[in-house]
A and B are shown apart, each in its own frame.
Chain A
Amino acid sequence: MMNRRSLLQGLSLSILSATMGVSPRHGEAEDAPEVGDQPVTSADRLRIAVIGPGSRGKELIRQFLRVPGVEVVAVADVYELRFLQVNELVGKAVPAYKDYRQMLERRDIDAVVVASPPLFHAQHVIDSIQSGRPVYGEKTMGFTEEDNYNIVNAVTQSGQIYQVGHQNRYAPWFQEAIRRIHEGEIGEPTHVYAYWFRRDNWRRNVPDPNLEHLINWRLYRESSGGLLEELGSHQIDVANWIFGEQPQTVLGSTSIVLYNDGRTVGDNVQAILGYSKGRRMIFSSLTDNAFMGDQLWVYGTNGSVQLTVEDATFYGSIHHTITGSDHTDAVRRGVKTGASYNYAADDEMPYRGPGKRIDARKAEDPTLTACRSFVHCVRTKTQPVADVRVGFGSAMACTTGKNAVFEGSMKNVPQWKPPAA
């Protein structure tokens, strides 16, 4: 069972210093203060502005408004319909801008949430940071290799707070499971199999054909990395977390089997990501069958773990190993005889027995925890867990991987390098 402190792991890791580089992440926050819905004072007021209040942006607004003291003071989007939706969501008229740069000129903004399509992340994140505001940026961090390096440089050179929207980092059952994996509970983790299956054409209805690319940007290569980027980036982040590094290679494949509607990204994607020591992550996404849902399996040399959006379950090693312990009793005392009627399935059959589930019944939505954590980091000037290096790790795998997927090729993933001075 997790305690409240571990639930809130990662609210702060280190005091932000003037010379802050990209400091080591993934540590435990034993000194993190316990925060909840404590009464707030005006000093705790935090005014956020949102660039890109589409479906994900609106969900982030909902979550941020569950954090005491947070107000939404402005939004920016090129699609004006969003403004009415935001007003309904927030319950009042929120100042709205078609040009986000005008919005950033406001003096009453304490932090910026970037939830625009990934194609624009670098522009929006960097401009927001250069306006002097901490940024909560949705995944995937950048759209191109250059974008990723530019964001890293902007964040580190400014010393500003940047948190990427990889909320699994804030899910207590993910934290607990990965802590136990790192402690060796399933031996050496060697493979991560990630599934994200849906039964959904991924297409939004468009009131005007001229808006097709604006609304259905996920379906076109010039604005989207497809399923690998939009879904797989979260799971790649988990694999990076488990393996403690970013992948070195990506082998990709994609096709369209059902939705021949003019889209240029596939409706199914497979990718194999190579890590050091021969370790692998296999990502598979379908959109014509939802059977597997969103789940990861972590396979180790002595057990397996299933990670889902609601829980984590550990399974011991299925095949017994010869332990090499002292068996002299078999000679000294002899062996016992009796009936042998226990049925065992063929050892090539998949295991269908129970596992040991991590109790996550008291866990809130990880996106809420992530938003709460960001607010805490801004108020206390501390660095988030899902920082720019976390964002870089999955983003670079996606920016390279989508090309591997589109081409059906294998590519090397550019690695982290110290930010420019």
Chain B
Amino acid sequence: MSYASSFHERPPTPPVPAFAPDRQEELPGALPLYSFSTPAMGTEFTLHLYSSSQDKARSIAGAAFEEVHRIENLLSHYRPGSELSRINREAFDHPVTTDPETFQFLDYAFAWSARSEGAFDITVGKLMKAWGFFGDTGRVPTPQELSSIRSQVGWRNVCLDPDRRTVRFLVPGIELDPGGIGKGYAVDRVVRVLQDEPVPASLISAGSSTLYAIGSPPGEVGWKVRVPVPGKPGHILSTVLLRDTSLSTANYTEKRFLDRGHLYGSIMSTETLLPIESVLQVTAVAPSATDSDALSNVLFALPTHARASLLDSLPAVSALVLTPEQETAQPEAVRWPAPIAKEDCECSTMMEED
């Protein structure tokens, strides 16, 4: 199928079925908390869980991180042996047959592209490289460089054939970069592993940008997640209690570089091929981590009116959006489940390095 048409009406369906709590009513009060971490997907994945023994916790963490590394081997555009790298290398030369999981992941990512009119787009591989965000510290490309890659960015140039399970690029030079959704997918896969174990209470974090909470710590309503004020270390905008749901944050200053006093972020406009500077931070809460990860980026990239319209259509999603204009005003909050600290909402500007 080509995504050039007919996608508008179709709501994206998460590639990992929504988590359905099926825990025994085992109160984790008497259980110790264990924490594990592993480097993966360019960040550090952390797992906190309550378990009856260290051996059991270690085995569960082993299974969880094995899944994280499996997804990294599937979706990494840094690793030449990954399935995504194979697609990037070959999909213009011929349709690439892929496995159902990869196909479904791509199908889902492009569904978000369609839903957001291209504001969210994983065909930004060349664009990210041009801006030095591929294993580099960042650089400002020349207008000529950006002009030369314009045709190589665009989700409508990718054709998925569900009958043959193939991926094909319609123009040369397309490179898929799953940065805006891959970690969320990995978190969802880990949640699936934890669901199979099962664990009474756990928090999985992909470098803090995407988290999923299972159950809650003893005596708590949920796992506390602090949403920071960008550019103000130590200042907290809101503290959310997360339970059996996910949260993701897309932040202007999370991956950035400073050039001649200007701070450049890594969330790109596929229209202008420039970093989006109209938003400082988006935090989204959604039932699936794949969703919250994608949504934090979708909402980051959409103009204000489209953002509101999209959130209206997603009643299970809540969001907190900070823009540069809101330095002294209330951030945009839609169904936000926690108090917001007004006095802290004095956000940094694009000209400041934090």
Contact = CB atoms under 8 A, between A and B. Distances in A.
Contacts of A207: 197
Nearest to B65: A200
* B interface, size bucket: 20 to 34
Interface in A195-213: 200-205, 207
A28 interface: no
B188 to A, nearest CB: 13
Contacts of B255: none
Interface stretch (B53-61, B230-238, B340-348): B53-61
Contacts of A368: 86
A204 B63 contact: yes
Interface in A1-39: 36-39
B100 A37 contact: no
A201 B55 contact: yes
Nearest to B73: A365
Given A37-B90, A364-B86, A200 B62 contact: yes
Interface string A294-332: 000000000000000010000000000000000000000
A37 B168 CA distance: 11
Contact of A66 (B79, B83, B164): B83
A299 to B, nearest CB: 26
B95 interface: yes
Contact of B99 (A62, A202, A261, A366): A62
Interface in A51-95: 55, 59, 62-63, 65-68, 89-91
A67 B101 contact: no
Contact of A90 (B60, B97, B100): B100
A214 to B, nearest CB: 15
B62 A67 contact: no
A202 B61 CA distance: 11
12 contacts: A36-B90, A37-B94, A37-B166, A90-B100, A91-B100, A201-B55, A201-B59, A261-B55, A310-B79, A310-B80, A362-B80, A365-B81
Nearest to B193: A205
Contact of A360 (B80, B96, B100): B80
Interface in B158-215: 164-166, 197
A417 interface: no
Nearest to B96: A37
Contacts of B63: 204-205
Contact of A363 (B80, B95, B197): B80
A201 B62 contact: yes
B310 to A, nearest CB: 28
Given A66-B83, A363-B80, A205 B100 contact: no
Contact of B89 (A90, A91, A362, A366): A362
Interface string B86-122: 1001100111111111001000000000000000000
B59 A203 contact: yes
Interface in B24-65: 55-56, 58-60, 62-63
B55 A66 contact: no
A65 B100 contact: yes
Given A201-B62, A203-B62, A68 B101 contact: no
Interface residues of A, number: 33
A199 B133 CA distance: 31
Interface of B: 55-56, 58-60, 62-63, 66, 70, 73, 79-83, 86, 89-90, 93-101, 104, 164-166, 197
A249 B66 CA distance: 35
A364 B96 contact: no
A333 interface: no
Interface in A350-382: 360-366, 368
B308 to A, nearest CB: 36
Nearest to B55: A261
Nearest to B199: A205
B176 to A, nearest CB: 16
Interface centre among A65, A360, A362 (most CB of B within 10 A): A65
A292 B245 CA distance: 38
B104 A91 contact: yes
By Cβ-Cβ distance, the 5 closest A-B pairs, closest first, are A91-B100, A205-B59, A365-B81, A65-B99, A68-B97
A204 B59 contact: yes
Nearest to B162: A91
A364 B81 contact: yes
